[in-house]
Structures are given as C-alpha cells and as structure tokens.
Amino acid sequence: MRTAHVSRKTAETEITVDINLDGTGAYDNQTGVGFFDHMLDQLARHSLIDMTIRAKGDYHIDDHHTVEDTGIALGQALAQALGDKKGIRRYGECHLPMDDAQVRCALDLSARPFLIWNLELPTQKIGTFDTELVREFFQAFSTHGGITLHVDQLHGFNSHHIAEAAFKAVARALRDAVETDPRKADAIPSTKGAL
C-alpha cells in the first residue's frame, strides 16, 4: 500500500497528514485556514490522492507557520508513500485553465527539490488569506517531497482563480507522476537505478 502517516509537532504548529497515493481523491482537510482547506481539497480531488489533514497553529500571529508546516508534513508524507519510487511515471505536466487564469505545472519526482515560481497574484489577500502563502506552501512541499516543481502563470487577473489553478495544475501533474506505469512497473524510472 502506498500510504503514509506523518505527525509533526513544533512550538508553532501541530499537524497530522494521512495520504493514500492509490486513492480516489477523497479528502477531509481541516487546518483552521478556510481558503487553504479549499486549496488542499482541490489538491486531493484532482490528484486522486486520498488526503486527511489536521492542523492547529499559532493563528494569533498569522497563518504563515500553519500553511508552511502543512507543506512540510505533506511533502514528507508524499516522499514516504512513494518509497523507492519503483514503477512510477515520475514526470507530470498540466496546463490548467480556470476562467481568466491559466497555470502550467511541470514536475519531476526527482528527489532534487527545486521550485520555479512565476505567479503574480494581484491582491495581497484572498478573504483573510495572505496570497504570498501560496508560494510558501509549494516551496515547503517541493523541498520536503523531493520535487522539481515548475509553476508558471500564463494568464489571469483574479487572485482566487490564479491560486486555485495553481493547486489544480500541480494536482493534475502529480496524478500522472505518482501513477504506476504498467510497462515498467518493477523498475525505478532512472538510468541511475535510484531516485
């Protein structure tokens, strides 16, 4: 079973993550940050990765630690569930349109974390959510998940749409990358023999 449970507690946040890479996109995400829950739900739904997340953080400061640390824990869970990465497709890509917004994601489950981030969210806030936290989440997720993650905005003027298109684009690319390739199900997809 390609599943993982991660529990992470610091002075700033307390987070548990449960995922199943071979799921149906079922989700139950409660982080105390409404817009972020909405984004995590998109990530699960469109990657078909089952995802249950519980987070509590130091909201009296702001949502920064909660969002960043959820990215860390989710990245750790992904790496753990992938294990030796035998049989996976490894790469994924997606152009995701949402109304005015279009976001492109290309990713490699390489174990070489690298984030290319080319999004400009025109407003500082979406509701009470700080838009700069979208990048913080994906920085943490790529670092701890071992993902080469390129995210580029091609169009868009509505912050909610741009952010949501980014989460959906990553989700859809992730769906392809974690999938098992039946033509090479017993091999690690690298000429090095390890990922």
Q: Which of residues 166-195 bind Mn ion (CB under 5 A)?
A: none
At a CB cut-off of 8 Å and minimum separation 6, what does 57 contact? 12, 13, 14, 31, 32, 63, 65, 66, 69
- CB-wise, 108 or 164, nearer to Mn ion? 164
The count of residues interacting with Mn ion (CB under 5 A) is: 1
- The CB-of-188 to Mn ion minimum distance in angstroms stands at 37
- The CB-of-9 to Mn ion minimum distance in angstroms stands at 30
Give the separation between CA 53 and CA 7, rounded to whole angstroms: 10
- The CB-of-164 to Mn ion minimum distance in angstroms stands at 5
Q: Which of residues 139-168 bind Mn ion (CB under 5 A)?
A: 164
* Single-letter residue type at 1: M
- CB-wise, 43 or 82, nearer to Mn ion? 43
- CB-wise, 45 or 86, nearer to Mn ion? 45
- The CB-of-39 to Mn ion minimum distance in angstroms stands at 8
Structure tokens at 121: 């969210």
Give the separation between CA 136 and CA 110, rounded to whole angstroms: 20
* Strand pairing class (91-98; 50-57): unpaired
- CB-wise, 63 or 164, nearer to Mn ion? 164
Contact present, 41 and 33 (Cβ < 8 Å): no
- The CB-of-187 to Mn ion minimum distance in angstroms stands at 39
Q: Which residues bind Mn ion (CB under 5 A)?
A: 164
